[in-house]
Structure 1
Amino acid sequence: MSDVIVIGGGPAGLAGAIACADFGLDVTVIDEFLKPGGRLLGQLHQEPSGDWWNGIKESERLHQETKRLAVDIRCGVSVYNLEKEGHLWNVHTNSGVLEAPFVLVATGAAEYPIPLPGWTLPGVMSIGAAQVMTNVHRVQVGKKGIIIGANILAFAILNELQLAGIHVDRVVLPEKNDLSQKAGDPEEVMKSLLNAAHLAPSSLLRIGSRFMKNDWMRKIGLRFYPKNGMKVNGTPLQLRKAALEIIGSDQVEGVRVADIDSNGTIISGSETIYDADFVCIAGGLYPLTELAAVAGCPFQYVPELGGHVPHHSETMETPLEGLFVAGNITGIESGKIAMAQGTTAGLSIAKHAGKGAGAIDHQLQQAVQNVRTVRHEAAIQFNPEIDNGRDKMKELWDHLYIKNNDGVPREKLG
């Protein structure tokens, strides 16, 4: 039996395991993928400072540190249930049941699908799948592709595909409907992209984006947005075109696209077909929270964090004794923030396990502050109102819960 079981071997899980093991706790990490690292394994981009962020090297650094601390990492293991029995958590996996008094759930995020006709054809994939195939498996996803969906994640991975020599012909929106929601609304898409406009490769785009943050200027800008789009690193971003259908018999052959007005309404008679041999659908990310829900953790819908997230404190504890969370399960942010949260969760677990004496309180507060600092210094945010979302969760936690003398959060009465 371990002292701590970490579910998820990504940046949050590995950082949490390292922090726990540093205090002498026996830690087991389980992950369904064939190697540890999570989404780090697919990340490769240049930061505003000019430095390169190489996720594969970062994951290897974390992995080597877990080896040094004798953390037991088990890959290819899936978890399907999580329940408390007495003072122990039972973690049900495809290779048996594991027990521990402390569990850190660091399951990360999943991608929103945007269904449209033809999306089951071979050659259609999520934008995240294209990233993994390109950067992890070194497989060329195709020779000429189209991305359906324009968001921060899509453009980060677009750049990675370009670095690998893969040609992305254009980025278009999905058709506006109940399934695509904001992803098919040109104004909502522009609003979200403006929060990363300071990273635009063109000085014209950077300067122009400042004016577009005004509501009426944005509406004018969309009205006169060129139908052929504006190029991002050579790939046209076409906010006035929407994908209606992916064309092909046995595999992707093209995408049927129509012009749309500034409200996302299809302009009749404007349809055309663009050739492509692969299509990436970019619907954005949401927290992967099923295990915390199965465990009985209460949730709150916080759109600024990406959806429903488990109740948690700034020290990453939940209302359930011995259950902690870290990373994108708590809100969609970068790998660096996930690591900072993982370290915070690990220190919090060590404190609850009676490790570190009085000094750990100071370390824990420093870790909480470091999360804020990393967030403040982040070049981009997947959800621009992330600070508001974090404030909402903190207010909710402070309003609902109080710690007893044993340090365990209890729901306030009345």
Structure 2
Amino acid sequence: MPCHHRRRAGQTRVPDDRPAGYARGDGDRGLMDADVIVIGAGPAGLTAATTAARDAGARVVLVDENERIGGRLPGQLYRHKDTWVIGARTAERLAEEAAEAGVEILSGHQVWSCEPGWRVRLESSRTLTAPKVVVATGAAERPLPMPGWTLPGTLAIGAVQQLVQVQRILPGRRVAVVGTDPLAMTAAEEITLAGGEVVGIFMPSGEPGQHAESSPRKVLHSLSGFASAAPAAWQRLGARMLRNRAIAAAAARLMPPSGIPIGEAKLKVRHRAEAILGAGKVEALRIRKVSAQGVPVGDSREIPVDAVCLSGGLYPLQELTTGNCSLVEVPEVGGLVPLHSPELRTTAPGLYVAGNVTGIEGAAVAERQGALAGTALAADLGAYRDPGARLREAAAQVELARAEAVLTFLPGIFSGRRRLSELWEAHAAPGSQSEGKASDDA
């Protein structure tokens, strides 16, 4: 059910900068009047909503399709050196901050469309209107198709995290993980902490339709983004050394077939998963050794398991930005993303973005991006005497969170962010012809 919160006493009403023809509710049950609508209640959306409501006194409505807000946070649990990062606690903190700021939360509502104006249509035939919208819809999992992947007992990694961390249910007693991104690593550790056995974290086969990395050298290189999540100091040092491509290539050649420890599980970069087997349910995983270059060698063998977790990585969700603003393809940040300014304004007036919809990164970066988008909103609503200083500070916090990130999902994220900045500068340059550099769907 939606949660409603009153504006706190002493807050200032935002300037009425609504566009001509802006529709008020006027008792219409299908229309809600707001100053800002935020779509997505993950760390980015929650923080954007809180910042705009707190700093500008804006009436903010936050919409999310899930009954439990927090996005992927409730399913997250991973190490940071000698401590644990518990996503559920972060979600609780952010939800409390949003409630204290007076944000109105509509949970359990799917957004069907977002149209300039801005009109946000829900599945209940309800329409919300506001002059400003933040899209913070996050990311979706890429499928990892392979023979047998439709058998009962095969689960996507996000579903596994929800089962283990939210529902307290093990996906199986003897589990294989296929995929080598940070989600796969953290899910493997969550399963072992809950009492399950992870027989290994295996490489994808690299067959057509799989977007996950299947090269041992590249997988080891990407482990540098997982360095601070390693439990032991020597593991953290070793992971950081893998940032050097030559060291990663040498490690791939010397890697023992038994794999390397990731918590209680082992990452088997010299084995690839070829098929999931079973009669009506998962019963085994067929694996095969590969060379340091990822070439199959020898015969395949079967490992008895009762569940297989597939992790093909993430991609930014653009259903609600497509047709509303310019989009650009930047593989280093995860694919197609909105062209946006350093303050997270898009090419469409009144439309802002934050979080993984702008590129795949961790929750801490998404939270700081939400604060930056909320600050940009508040600045555009006239909330600050020195908006430039507030925006610079918020942007600096994003960069700090990125530099200190516990998990780095994409090794090229920094170069990808620089590329996005260059594209925005080209777009914003006087007399620029940016149509050739961006897919303008606005």
Say whether the fold is shared (TM-score over 0.5): yes
Distance in 1 (CA, whole Å) between partners of 2:87 and 2:240 is 31
**RMSD between aligned alpha carbons?**
2.0
Report the CA distance shift for 1:66/1:181 in structure 2 as closer, same or farther (over 3 A): closer
Q: What is the distance in 2 between the residues matched to 1:39 and 1:209?
A: 25
Q: Which residue type is aligned with residue 127 of structure 1?
A: I
Equivalent residues of 1:176, 1:265 under 8 A apart: no
Say if 2:258 is the partner of 1:228: yes
**Alpha-carbon distance in structure 1 between the residues aligned to 2:136 and 2:277:** 38
Question: Cα distance, 1:119 vs. partner?
Answer: 0.5
Look up the match of 1:406: none
Compared with structure 1, are the counterparts of its residues 367 and 202 closer, same or farther at alpha carbon in structure 2 (3 Å cutoff)? Answer: closer
> Mapping of 1:4-403 within 5 angstroms?
4-22=36-54, 23-48=56-81, 50-84=82-116, 88-95=117-124, 96-181=126-211, 183-197=213-227, 199-202=229-232, 205-206=235-236, 208-209=238-239, 212-268=242-298, 270-295=299-324, 297-353=325-381, 355-401=382-428
Q: What TM-score do the two structures reach when normalised by structure 2?
A: 0.85
**1:165-212 Cα deviation digits (max 9, x unpaired):** 222111111112232255222222122113434543455545555665
In the alignment, the residues of structure 1 paired with residue 300 and residue 270 of structure 2 have an alpha-carbon distance, to the nearest angstrom, of 12
Deviations 1:48-80 (A, max 9, x none): 2x3432221221121122222221111111112
Alignment-mate amino acid for residue 94 of structure 2: L
Distance 2:229 2:328 in 1: 32
Evaluate the alpha carbon distance shift between residue 220 and residue 372 of structure 1 in structure 2; reply closer, same or farther with a 3 A threshold. Answer: closer
> Where does 1:399-414 land on structure 2 (aligned, <5 Å)?
399-401=426-428, 412=432
Counterparts of 2:239 and 2:101, CA distance in 1: 48
Could you list the runs of 5+ residues in structure 1 that have no partner in the other structure?
403-409
Q: Counterpart of 1:38 in structure 2: which amino acid? A: G
Cα gap change, 1:346 to 1:143, in 2 (>3 Å): same
Deviation of 1:118 (Å): 0.8
Q: For residues 262 and 51 of structure 1, do their structure 2 counterparts lie closer, same or farther at Cα, with a shift above 3 Å needed?
A: closer
TM score, norm. by length of structure 1: 0.91
Deviation at 1:140? Answer: 1.7
Residue 3 of structure 2: aligned partner: none
Share of identical aligned residues, percent? 37
2:16 aligned partner:
none
Distance 2:389 2:240 in 1: 41
**Structure-2 change in CA distance of 1:348 and 1:112 (3 Å):** same
Q: Contact conserved, 1:3 with 1:26, CA < 8 A, in 2?
A: yes
Which residue identity is paired with 2:221?
K
> CA-to-partner distance for each residue in 1:78-102, whole Å, 9 max, x for gaps?
1121111xxx211121022211110
List runs of 5+ in structure 2 lacking aligned partners.
1-32, 435-442
Letter matched to residue 425 of structure 2 = D
Q: Distance in 1 between matches of 2:158 and 2:91?
A: 17
